[in-house]
């Protein structure tokens, strides 16, 4: 196709978009629950600039789905001015924008939920100033490795924020004085790095943090435990080929002393040679000193899933009245333990646990892609599933 034909096609598409936007007179709709604008393979900012009429009634959610085509003028686009053209709305969703920025000097006071996904860059400091009344914030993935323009002496505080979700977030200015004193739920996933000091300091300042979901490649569970002791419901993504060393009964620093429920999500399979060092004849006779993650050798020995589970059950799930319990005196037994795998059944490597079958309550659930088993050693099956609260985040791990 010649260049002239391409220009003609683009011009025709622009005319079609303009006609469609003009035909849909948003002023005639008194109440809009969700207004979704999708660009597909067209530039989102161009489409938004063609809107002739803005709603004059009520609007609850504005959902903008663009593309990630780089643009030299992307950072100069007046996002705040555009959003102010709408009546006040409480939820903003913006996906696939090459660069997203809000004017920190013109706060959008009505926005309580903000979801940002698949952006190349995002100006976080100004963003935090622009939405001071946020109650829910999801960011990620954002592939931003640039330095952030931070104003010295400014407190970036979201005092109303209750839920914060960061998925595959490779850059966030933890060096700013960002606080969320009333945060109750937090999720963080990434394929690289670990919890650094500034990140842990942010969590330490969250005195009401009760619900945490953590998915990381490196062993960051113990840094999380040192950063906060208020977690009641914890979800961990585990790699069976590299099960973490969690010192569940360390008398000097017991991790997660207020923990009530624990969810373990296994998303990967071990390599083919993972168990080759194990003699199948020796698996039946389990020496807990050898399988104890606190004392296991750091050489070729690895902890099997069933051994990892047995040690966890003994140190955090079995009531002290049980003869095998290693529950510290200062703790209460977990109310529920949930295991989720991406397979039709729970793998035998988990089911070989010698304590799994002693649970007083066990409920199995199956979805299209996952299988979950929820266990308790102190409750009966009635009401077991209600013990673990539903995830407060808009997308499952």
Q: What is the DSSP string of 303-363?
A: --HHHHHHHHIIIIIS-TTSTT----TT-PPPSEEEEEESSSS--HHHHT-TTGGG-SEEE
In a domain, 195, yes or no: no
Whether 163 and 261 share a structural domain: no
Token duo for residue 204: 């330490």
Dihedral sign, Cα of residue 75, residue 80, residue 86, residue 90: positive
Q: Residue 323, by phi and psi: left (phi above 0), alpha (psi -120 to 50) or beta? A: alpha
pTM: 0.84
The number of beta carbons lying within 10 Å of the beta carbon of residue 378 is: 17
Does 246 share its domain with 392? yes
CA distance 161 to 181: 8
Dihedral of alpha carbons 166, 205, 219, 388, sign: negative
Does some domain include residue 361? yes
- Residue 178 shares a structural domain with residue 250: no
Q: Write down which residue in 125, 148, 183 finishes a domain.
A: 183
Asked if the structure places residue 189 within a domain, the reply is no
Count up the domains in the chain and report the number.
Answer: 2
Final residue in a domain of this structure, among 121, 148, 183: 183
What's the rounded Cα separation, in Å, for the pair 310 and 20? 62
Q: Are residues 238 and 378 in the same domain?
A: yes
Question: Are 310 and 266 in the same domain?
Answer: yes
Whether residues 267 and 372 share a domain: the answer is: yes
Helix (H) or strand (E) holding 139: strand 136-139
* 313 plus 388 within the same structural domain: yes
In order along its 397 residues, the chain shows pLDDT tens digits of 566 665 676 677 777 777 777 778 888 889 999 999 888 767 788 888 888 889 999 999 999 988 755 554 445 678 899 999 999 999 999 988 877 888 888 899 999 999 988 876 777 778 888 999 999 999 887 765 555 666 666 778 899 999 999 887 656 666 567 889 999 999 988 776 667 777 888 888 899 999 999 887 656 788 888 889 999 999 988 776 667 667 776 766 788 999 999 999 886 544 444 333 334 444 444 444 544 555 443 344 567 788 888 999 999 999 999 999 999 888 899 999 999 988 877 777 777 888 888 899 999 998 888 889 999 999 988 878 889 998 898 776 6
Do 217 and 167 belong to one domain? no
Whether residue 117 sits in one domain with residue 161: yes
Q: Which domain holds residue 361?
A: 207-397
For residue 6, is it within any domain?
no
Helices (H), ranges, 184-230: 197-204, 221-227
Residues 98 and 178 in one domain: yes
Please report whether residue 13 resides in a domain.
no
Instruction: Mention every residue, 6+ apart, whose C-beta is less than 8 A from residue 375.
Output: 317, 336, 337, 338, 339, 356, 359, 361, 362
Write down which residue in 183, 198, 217 finishes a domain.
183
Q: Are residues 230 and 173 in the same domain?
A: no
14 assigned to some structural domain = no
Judge if 216 and 262 occupy the same domain: yes
Residue 8 lies inside a defined structural domain of this protein: no
Q: CA-CA-CA-CA torsion for 122, 128, 130, 133, nearest 10 degrees?
A: 130
Asked if residue 201 is part of any domain, the answer here is no
């Amino acid at each position: 196709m010649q260049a002239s034909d391409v220009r003609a096609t683009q011009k025709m598409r622009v005319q079609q978009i303009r006609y469609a936007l003009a035909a849909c007179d948003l002023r005639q709709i008194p109440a809009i629950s969700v207004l979704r604008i999708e660009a597909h393979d067209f530039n989102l900012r161009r489409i938004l600039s063609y809107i002739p009429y803005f709603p004059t009634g009520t609007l609850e959610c504005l959902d903008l789905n663009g593309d990630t085509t780089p643009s030299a003028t992307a950072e100069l686009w007046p996002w705040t001015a555009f959003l102010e053209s709408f009546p006040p709305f409480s939820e903003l969703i913006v996906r696939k924008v090459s660069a997203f920025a809000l004017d920190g000097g013109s706060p959008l006071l009505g926005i309580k939920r903000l979801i940002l996904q698949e952006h190349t860059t995002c100006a976080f400091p100004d963003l935090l100033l622009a939405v001071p009344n946020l109650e829910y914030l999801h960011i990620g993935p954002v592939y931003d490795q640039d330095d952030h323009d931070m104003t010295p002496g400014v407190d970036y505080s979201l005092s109303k924020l209750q839920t914060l979700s960061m998925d595959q977030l490779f850059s966030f200015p933890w060096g700013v004085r960002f606080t969320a004193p009333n945060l109750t739920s937090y999720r963080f996933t990434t394929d690289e790095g670990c919890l650094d000091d500034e990140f842990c300091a942010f969590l330490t300042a969250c005195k009401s943090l009760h619900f945490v979901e953590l998915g990381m490649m490196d062993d960051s569970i113990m840094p999380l435990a040192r950063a906060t002791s208020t977690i009641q419901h914890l979800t961990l993504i585990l790699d069976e080929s590299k099960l973490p060393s969690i010192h569940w009964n360390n008398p000097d620093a017991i991790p997660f002393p207020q923990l009530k429920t624990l969810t373990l999500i296994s998303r990967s399979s071990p390599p083919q040679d993972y168990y080759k060092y194990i003699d199948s004849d020796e698996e039946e006779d389990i020496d807990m000193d050898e399988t104890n993650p606190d004392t296991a050798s750091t050489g070729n020995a690895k902890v099997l899933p069933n051994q990892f589970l047995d040690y966890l059950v003994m140190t955090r799930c079995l009531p002290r009245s049980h003869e095998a319990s290693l529950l510290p005196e200062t703790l209460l037994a977990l109310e529920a333990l949930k295991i989720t795998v991406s397979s039709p059944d729970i793998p035998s490597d988990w089911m070989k646990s010698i304590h799994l079958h002693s649970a007083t309550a066990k409920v199995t659930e199956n979805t299209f892609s996952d299988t979950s088993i929820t266990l308790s050693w102190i409750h009966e099956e009635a009401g077991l599933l209600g013990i673990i609260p539903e995830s407060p985040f808009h997308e499952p791990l």
